Amino acid sequence: MPNYQLALIRQYCDTTKYRLSPEEKDLLCKVLENPAKYDGFISRVYTENDEGKDYRGSWAASTTQKFRIDIDSKLSIHEWYRRIVDGDEDRYEWDHTDTRQILNILKRIENEL
């Protein structure tokens, strides 16, 4: 089974610089073995609210993130990121293609898969 998993993972991910644990292989294969279910899957919106005080006084921040799994010739995860600190807003979008980054995101949204 592990040889099959690694062969499948290598079709979609660059594993040359990583050693994957059995749990990481299982997680990647869960997604890769079910492309009809997970290609285009969009996670719920993750929100984190912070507040505190610094030398300028009080501050408040809100961060939201959302992820979409894309399975084509390669596995990638698109991330939407938005952070608002005291009314100033930053928005970013990334396409994660690095195997370790993908695994970190999959671990974060694993309960939704």
Can you give the residue ranges of every domain in the chain?
Answer: 2-112
pTM for the model: 0.87
Count how many Cα atoms sit within 13 Å of the Cα of residue 81 in the half-sphere of its side chain: 10
Q: Could you tell me the pLDDT band of residue 1, with boundaries at 50, 70 and 90?
A: very low
**The pLDDT value given to residue 56:** 81
Average pLDDT of the residues of the chain: 94
DSSP-based helix, strand, coil % in the chain, nearest 5? 35, 40, 25
32, 75 contact by CB (below 8 A): yes
Of all residues in the chain, the percent with pLDDT exceeding 70 is 98
